[in-house]
Structure 1
Amino acid sequence: MKKYIDTGKKDTRSGFGAGLTELAKTNENVVALCADLIGSLKMEGFIEHSPERFFQTGIAEANMIGMAAGLTVGGKIPFAGTFANFATGRVYDQIRQSVAYSEKNVKICASHAGLTLGEDGATHQILEDIGLMKMLPGMVVINPCDFNQTKAATLAIAEYEGPVYLRFGRPKVANFTPENGEFVIGKAVMLSEGTDVTIVATGHCVWEALLAAEKLEAKGISAEVINIHTIKPLDEEAILKSIAKTGCIVTCEEHNYLGGLGESVARVLSLNNPTPQEYVATKDTFGESGTATELMAKYELDAPAIEKAAEKVLARKK
């Protein structure tokens, strides 16, 4: 399998900050809004370059979304940032009515998603946000895997006309995708070709999938690893092409198995080519306080869990 190198651990939220700072310099229509979490969203660079294009809304997320929707009427491209829990659950009504239904060009930028938020615990660890957002008509849902890809995604969504949910995280994780790589919305990335089992992963689980594939290779199992950075629109062609070769699939996500990437893949399979599938995801549960590494292990989202799921689905295929 193709080998990937961690060039140095970085947090994906800093990838967002780097992309937003670049947009401050290159796209005068981009404006930024934040609900009192400038440091957490890494927005300092944007503010330093373009303070007149930044709006601090305070802890008033519903107002922030309404302001963002209004700014699009004047041709602005608003990037509204806060924690994922507040960016979706707290303001779902405003997103549904003022952004999705109204087809406004708002970019909802959500940091601290999933279990890897860590010690802040269950009240902040939203594991339902992908499901909430992908069900909104017209909403694009993006969950990049590392610093480089998050920066690239941030730049790409500024060029896309329409509402976008961009999800990223708090901890420092492996940074392994190419610097300044191309980001195509809705186009999966083949990371490593294989013949025995397909592993599709999103977000922080992508690196874990690559680690699992190395362990499987040592056991004589050839795993095909695909990075699904865009959950909606889903690259159905890439998934179907892969499972036509391997005959089984594992889906991996830092999200509830109800409503996430796994269910989107299951729909594609059921309609086109029913195939054995195993889910690596949280099992209809809330999280708890702990380090990111501890929680990924306890909730079975890490490389050993992916390896185990691959072996299980292979046994089902036989």
Structure 2
Amino acid sequence: MSGVQATVDRGLANLEVLDATLRDLAAADPSIRVLTADSRISGKLVPFAREYPQNMVEIGIAEQNLVGVAAGLASCGKKPFVVSPACFLTSRSLEQIKVDVSYGQNAVRLIGISAGISYGPLGASHHSIADFAALRAMPGVLVIAPGDNCETEAAIRLAAAADGAVYVRLGKRPVSCFHAEGAGPVVVDRATRLRDGRDVAIVATGETVHIALGAADILREHGVDSSVLSVPMVRPLDVDAVVSAAKGARAVVVLEEHSVHGGLGEACASVLMAAGVGVPFRALGIPDEPIVNGDQLEVLAHYGIDAGGVAHVVGALLDGRR
């Protein structure tokens, strides 16, 4: 993919970006279909539904049927986008993703919204912190976690053009664009170096990219030079970018709003070990314990996934304390 068109306001929330991009795509491609499993979600896509009522399908709260219907549409030459909370889409419908989408080789675009711990106070039933692990293991499924509106638009456009299945993981909280205007096309099929630094490489995906940038600012005040790598495409991973960032640093820290098991951290560790890159390494994510409840940012901070917590971990690694 060469780039994106400027169809969305950089200050919009994720679902607004999704809606605007889908409307732009549907204007040129009548095969686009949008399927939802909750009237509250379809309500947030009202502009699309008003412009393209025949292209919108509300299945109701029946996520397994949602994915099954989408797979059927894909097998008939349509381009279905399934929009549902990530916690239900990737757990309740996991068998349908496995059989109807992955095994059936159907090009379904799975859009998991309010991912990670976006639903904070609603508790573990509404958290999706194992979706990377589950879908990274599914043959033929791309896994993308955009970090800002620019990457969200790029991810939806990539999904529309893809020949196979794609999972796009979106958060709930509005986030500002960290890609500078006029800096060139935004891509999600490879990692983007947002900062250059020789001391530590901070690798992040999704909303944690903003945390990585905040940590880099704190570290700079203490004389630590950080590179920051945005990795929207979790699978397949941009191996060259990760290895290059690690080789140019004294330590590597990986951030993700996901379990420490089976996500970006383990993927990066595997890649670096295979490449023989032996630098101090730490993966920050949700630990192997019952997750606490609370506001998203408060929960992340509880687990050290905030700018100050990341800066502390980096300082410990550089000082030889792990």
2: CA distance, partners of 1:73 / 1:314: 52
2: CA distance, partners of 1:50 / 1:152: 22
Which ranges in structure 1 are unaligned for 5 or more consecutive residues?
1-6
1:239 and 1:298, CA in 2 relative to 1: closer, same or farther beyond 3 A? same
Q: Give the CA deviation at 1:304.
A: 1.1
Whether the 8 Å CA contact 1:13–1:169 is kept in 2: the answer is no
Aligned residues: 312
1: CA distance, partners of 2:15 / 2:236: 22
Whether the 8 Å CA contact 1:153–1:183 is kept in 2: the answer is no
Per-residue CA deviations over 1:101-160 (Å, capped at 9, x if unaligned) read 111110000001112322222210111111111111111000001122212211221011
Q: TM-score, normalised by structure 2?
A: 0.91
Counterpart of 1:297? 301
The sequence identity of aligned pairs, in percent, is 33
1: CA distance, partners of 2:86 / 2:268: 23
Whether the 8 Å CA contact 2:83–2:111 is kept in 1: the answer is yes
1:53 and 1:10, CA in 2 relative to 1: closer, same or farther beyond 3 A? closer
Counterpart of 2:3? none
2: CA distance, partners of 1:265 / 1:24: 36
Secondary structure of the residue that 2:126 maps to in structure 1? coil
Whether the 8 Å CA contact 2:35–2:57 is kept in 1: the answer is yes
RMSD between aligned alpha carbons?
A: 2.0
Whether the 8 Å CA contact 2:107–2:163 is kept in 1: the answer is yes
1:28 and 1:169, CA in 2 relative to 1: closer, same or farther beyond 3 A? same
Whether the 8 Å CA contact 1:15–1:149 is kept in 2: the answer is no
Q: Give the CA deviation at 1:10.
A: 4.4
Per-residue CA deviations over 1:65-114 (Å, capped at 9, x if unaligned) read 11111111221110001000111011111000010111111000000111
Counterpart of 2:98? 96
1:313 and 1:302, CA in 2 relative to 1: closer, same or farther beyond 3 A? same
Structure 1 runs (4+) deviating above 6 angstroms are: none
Equivalent of 2:174, from 172, 175, 179?
172
Does structure 1 residue 193 correspond to structure 2 residue 193? no
Q: TM-score, normalised by structure 1?
A: 0.92
Whether the 8 Å CA contact 1:41–1:81 is kept in 2: the answer is no
Q: Give the CA deviation at 1:173.
A: 2.5
1: CA distance, partners of 2:29 / 2:181: 21
1: CA distance, partners of 2:45 / 2:17: 11
1: CA distance, partners of 2:163 / 2:10: 33
1: CA distance, partners of 2:175 / 2:44: 16
1: CA distance, partners of 2:43 / 2:133: 22
2: CA distance, partners of 1:308 / 1:65: 42
Does structure 1 residue 107 correspond to structure 2 residue 109? yes
User: Which residues of 2 match residues 194-213 of structure 1 at below 5 A?
Assistant: 194-213=197-216
Counterpart of 1:36? 38
Q: Give the letter for the 1:150 counterpart.
A: T
1: CA distance, partners of 2:79 / 2:41: 21
Per-residue CA deviations over 1:8-45 (Å, capped at 9, x if unaligned) read 76433332222222222232111110001453783222
Q: Which has the higher contact order (CA 8 A, sep 6+)?
A: 1
1: CA distance, partners of 2:45 / 2:217: 36
